[in-house]
Amino acid sequence: MTSRHTRSALALGIIATTALGLTACSGGATTSGSTASSTQQIGSVDLAAAGCPATISVQTDWNPEAEHGSLYEMLDPSNVTVDTSAKTVTGPLMAGGEYTGVNLQVRAGGPAIGFQTVPSQMYSDDSITLGYVYSDEAVQNSVAQPTVGVFAPLDKTPTMIMWDPATYPDVKTIADLGKTDAFVRYFGGSAYMEYLISSGLLKKSQTDGGYDGTPANFVAAGGKDAQQGYASAEPYIYENEVSSWMKPVKYQLINDAGWEIYPVVVSARSGDMDKLAPCLKALVPVMQKADVDYYADPAKANGLILDLVDKYDTGWVYSQGVADYSVKTQKDLGLVGNGSDTVVGNFDMDRLQKFVDLATPIYKGIGSVPTEGLSAKDIATNEFIDPSIGFPQ
């Protein structure tokens, strides 16, 4: 089980216990709006001429949320079709407000796909063009479901371990937590936890892989236990929306403890790369620019995200407060940015190779043996990145 999918269960657990007025799933009506028309004028980027599919379908890993903002930035909220049964939104793919000649379909993940991993969904449905694949997933699934990342909208994973600062005032890092007697709850099978234990940052005896995804045990422990979460969501949720807690938590990113993956990487099936290459050459720079535009002004895309959460009605509760917190936190923590250079969305291949070397023996140890001789270039490429596009310095 990967870090993103364990977070998915966590989120459902939180919303089930916060008494935020959940409603039952709606069953499947479709809300229609206009879609791409041949009469629309194509702007300076013509993705149809570049060989892109008439509809570029992107499978995400979870419900609509701010971590996916750059994807929704490429849609015009006033000109989309929302399928509440399939949990998809489709509309003209826009680049800087101009039509590109094709449609974009964004598919929700998590509960919408029965909590299947994105690689497994991509390999069971060939109508999916691209999917959000974490780089640890790419390593883990490199034999049976190989993928190649072409664009990294986030530079660091928000996955973290959190604790109560009132109980542990001297704890600043996961390593500090390992020197206490705190139990650390997580979802069993998470490779990052195997890393934290094998590296000596946490003691195996203090970890609990039976985490059920709810705040109940954290709250009941009165601050004595720690648990995993998402730095761009749970700290706000626990302080403002978990009625039985309503106070701050502290945390450290697993990235800063050494598990330096790229999350939500826009990826293609490895066997599709040659066919998609002309399209990706034109599409990836559009995605880079959308990433920059979203974080400069997230209001439009966040409005669509919140509307979709309401329409999909999966039990996931996502407030304006969480969305605003997420955007700010992503920027403040460097979860989004140019990384080690001036370019957005590219991969630091040395960093990625270091991770592959770190993760391979860990996955072997838990029975998910990666491809023999796997290297960074097998799971990611900068071939389609426009080096002139980045966040302002």
What confidence score (pLDDT) does residue 360 get?
97
Bridge partners for 229 per DSSP: 160
pLDDT score at 5 = 43
CATH for the stretch 32-156+262-379: 3.40.190.10
The dihedral region occupied by 334, where left means phi > 0, alpha psi between -120 and 50, and beta the remainder, is left
Q: Where are the beta strands (DSSP E) in 48-87?
A: 55-59, 81-83
pLDDT digits (tens, 9 = 90+) for 60-113: 999 999 999 999 999 999 999 999 999 999 999 999 999 999 999 999 999 999
Task: Assign domain 159-253 to its CATH architecture.
Answer: 3-Layer(aba) Sandwich (3.40)
What does DSSP assign to residue 42? B
User: What number is the average pLDDT over the span 155-169?
Assistant: 97
Domain spans, the chain:
32-156+262-379, 159-253
Would you state the pLDDT for residue 151?
98
Q: What is the pLDDT of residue 190?
A: 85
Mean local confidence (pLDDT), 16-27? 34
The arrangement of strands across the sheet holding 250-253 comes to 207-208, 184-185, 226-230, 159-163, 250-253
Distance CA 177, CA 256 (A): 14
Report whether pLDDT(21) > 90: no
Confidence at residue 30, expressed as pLDDT on a 0 to 100 scale? 54
Query: Once rounded to an integer, what is the mean pLDDT over residues 222-251?
Result: 96
Residue partners of 247: CB distance under 8 A and separation at least 6: 166, 238, 239
Give per-residue pLDDT as tens, 332-365.
999 999 999 999 999 999 999 999 999 999 999 9
Largest Cα separation within the chain, whole Å, is 66
Angle between helices 191-198 and 349-365 (to 10 degrees): 90
Question: How many Å is the Cα radius of gyration of the chain?
Answer: 20
Mean pLDDT, the chain, integer: 91
